[in-house]
Structure 1
Amino acid sequence: MKLPVFKAPVFKAPAHHTGVTSRVGTWLGITFGLCFVTGLLSHGAQHDWVWPTRPVDLYRVTQGVHVISGVASIPLLLAKLWSVYPKLFERPLVKSVPHALERASIFVLIAASFFELVTGLFNAAQNYPWSFYFPTAHYAVAWIVIGALLVHVAVKIPVVRRTLEPASEERTILSRRAFLRTTALTTGVAVVATAGVTVPWLRKISVLAWRSDGALPVNRTAKAAGIVVPQDWRLKVGARSFSLAELQAMPQTTVDLPIACVEGWSQNATWTGVRVSELVGRGDVRVESLEKDGLYRVTTLPSEFAEDPLTLLALRLNGEELSLDHGFPCRLIAPNRPGVLQTKWVTSLEVL
């Protein structure tokens, strides 16, 4: 009589399971989606797409969400790769043409995702160890990421639905839940540790936050920009010109507006100066800086911003005369504009 042969069940490691992959992938899809949408908004704001002047904190919020969701994506992406890496090296590497296309799309998704997250971190730290122009490359690769992600989701949606069902076996295994909890906790810690650059009440506990010491940060110093203010400096406004004393003698307006930069940091400040609408007529305004070079030496202020009563040619910051690093003798400050477009060291305004 032949005895039955019993085989010991083969258990996968807790992390390397479709249930874990589906859940982490869902979280990652949410953070990537937020990062992509807010990135599009940031790109539009910097390139003068249709962008409102109100609410004044809109860009601050959208860019903050952009950077925070990017930070949250890093531990989630690493956890997702850890959950699937055995499959990435299974043999044979290619089983069929559809399988080859699927693996190629995964490779593109992983490579593009790492490019976005790593270069985004370097940008937040204002460190650029590459020769390409970051905004253009970051924007282009974002479309590659989202396209590859949509293809990946379309291919894997049946698996995701099956593994996310309440009756799925994976939901009952404590070790897998522990991995998911650890992933969620790590993501939360990463967010809290850096979110102070955008969320003021988190600044005291955001130990890894950059530029959150309470002082208004300076991205580009006067020395770095090569600024030399002539003793006979005058602001050109069309055919007219004004000395600093003449600008100070005009009716002054004080507003509370945030500076919000593409690196993710933002901070409120009190600005005092002359309304741009009282200096120029109606229409778009060309704003020129004393800088001799730089991508934002000359910017265009759309008419809706130029005519807004909150848009100032600022002469004072928090009650004090502008320092040279903050744009002396005068700088632009407008509601809901990226910091790179809040031109410092203004030398001329011209209605287009």
Structure 2
Amino acid sequence: MNETSTGDGPRRFDIPLPQPPDALRIGPLREGTFRSPLHEARTAVVVGRRLGAAILLCFLSGLLSHVLQEPPGWLRDHLPSRPVNGYRVTQGLHVIAGIAAVPLLGAKLWTVYPKLFEWPPARSVRHLAERLAIAVLVAATLLELFTGLLNTLQWYPWPFPFRQTHFWLGWIITGALLLHVTAKATAIGEHWWRGRAALPGRRAFLGTVTASVAAVTVTTAGQSIPGLRAVDLLAPRRPDLGSQGLPVNRTAAQAGTTAVPADWRLTVDGPVPLHLSMAELLTMPQHTAPLPIACVEGWSASADWTGVRLRDLLDRAGAPADARLRIVSLESSGPYAVTEMAPTYARDPLTLLALRVNGQVLDADHGYPARIIAPNRPGVLQTKWVSRIEVLG
């Protein structure tokens, strides 16, 4: 076996594979099966660059979301609490780009699917490796978009954890996409710019794809963009509908917190321990902050939250300025029954132990008797039914 390149001889990865006779070429493998002229490189490149942009936006915004929910140790004490709407914008873009990628992926696959029936299936070791890499890219992207769409509905019919799987699939897709673009760089470059002659039907096809992307975007983005709420026809959530004018992901009944103890007191476990009743909390200075509640499913809504500044409670408990917090809910179980908060959030003047929303006492589904609300923070970390705040030092 010749594994080196000598003159014009075969290179290591270009070794021809045994080929079957032409008699085995049957069914869709016959010449002329795919008659549309749009199954060609220029159309694939135009759709591909749009799809690539959507995937890249999804990846970057999803990475920000993951870091805010589960920061690495070196970053956890330095997460920014501003801009106030940071998480709302980035997570909204994440879901919007993911939904827009669905028709783009369909168009891309339609354009190139005759490649699936190339004969022979592999012309060389290099060609086989390239096809396997593309198979990984397509399979991972399909799974990522499918599970992401079901996540917006809060439906998880699979046995694996969604968030971790979604995160690592994002890395696999991004890496596979970069490899694919690198391998096809020459062909992409040849067809990147508009050709001299427009292929019949290409403009109509691309216009249809653009209209499809616009339609699904406009009819779903209203769950995070207030200006589009009037045409929010296909989104799974209407952020202006729900208890006290806000959606609820996890109800008090689901969390087992419908019966709050009559003698409930907030415990602040700091250098100066505090045990505060509702009446005592109400005697402290009350502040109102217009803040969004934004969730990983893509929806967000603004409300006026009223309560005690968290930093006032910490000062009263003698907590150091750089102290991290552990916040404990009355909820007995659940992935976010206990959360931690960096000092950048804890000391932000907009971060509240909220007792009221939109002028009304919190109802059970929104966290009565008290909940956390902070700027630029994922909704799952805005702990409801707070019972204890621990100063970690």
Structure 2: tracts of 5 or more residues without a match = 1-31
* Corresponding residue for residue 29 of structure 2: none
* Corresponding position of 1:198: 224
2:63 to 40, 45, 52: 40
Name the CA shift for 1:242/1:10 in 2 (closer, same or farther; >3 Å). Answer: closer
Q: Give the residue type in structure 2 aligned to 1:21.
A: A
1:235–1:242 contact (8 Å) kept in structure 2: yes
Map of 2:146 onto structure 1: 118
Identity of aligned residues (%): 52
Match of 1:247 in 2: 281
Give how far 1:164 is off.
Answer: 2.3
Q: 1:16 aligns with which of 30, 33, 39?
A: 39
Q: Distance in 1 between matches of 2:165 and 2:239?
A: 31
> Which amino acid counterpart does residue 219 of structure 1 have in structure 2?
N
Task: Verify the 8 A CA contact 1:276 1:312 in the aligned structure 2.
Answer: yes
Q: For 2:251, which of 204, 207, 221 is the aligned residue?
A: 221
Deviation by residue 1:62-90 (Cα, 9 ceiling, x = unmatched)? 00100000001000001000000111111
Q: How many residues align?
A: 342
Residues 1:273 and 2:307 are matched in the alignment: yes
Cα separation, 2, equivalents of 1:319 and 1:137: 40
Q: What is the aligned counterpart of 1:31 among 48, 54, 74?
A: 54
1:208 aligns to what? 234
Alignment of 1:160-309 (within 5 A): 160-169=188-197, 172-212=198-238, 214=240, 215-227=245-257, 228-238=259-269, 239-280=273-314, 281=319, 282=321, 283-309=323-349
Residues 53 and 336 in structure 1, CA contact (< 8 A), matched pair in contact too: yes
Q: Measure how far apart 1:168 and its partner are.
A: 4.6
CA contact (8 A) 1:216 1:267 kept: yes
Q: Which runs of 5+ in 1 are unaligned?
A: 1-8
What SS is found at the alignment partner of 1:204?
A: helix
Report the counterpart of residue 79 of structure 1 in structure 2.
Answer: 107
Root mean square deviation of aligned Cα: 1.4
Q: Does structure 2 conserve the Cα–Cα contact (< 8 Å) formed by 1:194 and 1:207?
A: yes
Paired amino acid for 2:102: I
SS in 2 for 1:21: helix
2 CA distance for matches of 1:247 and 1:29? 52
CA contact (8 A) 1:125 1:210 kept: yes
Of residues 326, 329, 337, the one that matches 2:366 is: 326
Q: Which amino acid aligns with 1:24?
A: V
Instruction: Indicate conservation of the 8 Å contact 2:292/2:300, yes or no.
Output: yes
Give the partner amino acid of 2:298.
G
If the length of structure 1 is used for normalisation, what is the TM-score? Answer: 0.95
Secondary structure of the residue aligned to 2:263 is coil
Query: If the length of structure 2 is used for normalisation, what is the TM-score?
Result: 0.85
Deviations 1:200-225 (A, max 9, x none): 01011121122225131000000001
Helix, strand or coil at the partner of 1:224: helix
CA distance in 1, matches of 2:188, 2:98: 23
Deviations 1:260-299 (A, max 9, x none): 1000000000000000101112311110000111110100
- CA drift at 1:161: 1.3
Contact 2:305 2:356 in 1 (8 A): yes
Deviation at 1:14, TM superposition (A): 3.7
2:162 maps to which residue?
134
Shift >6 Å, 4+ stretches? none
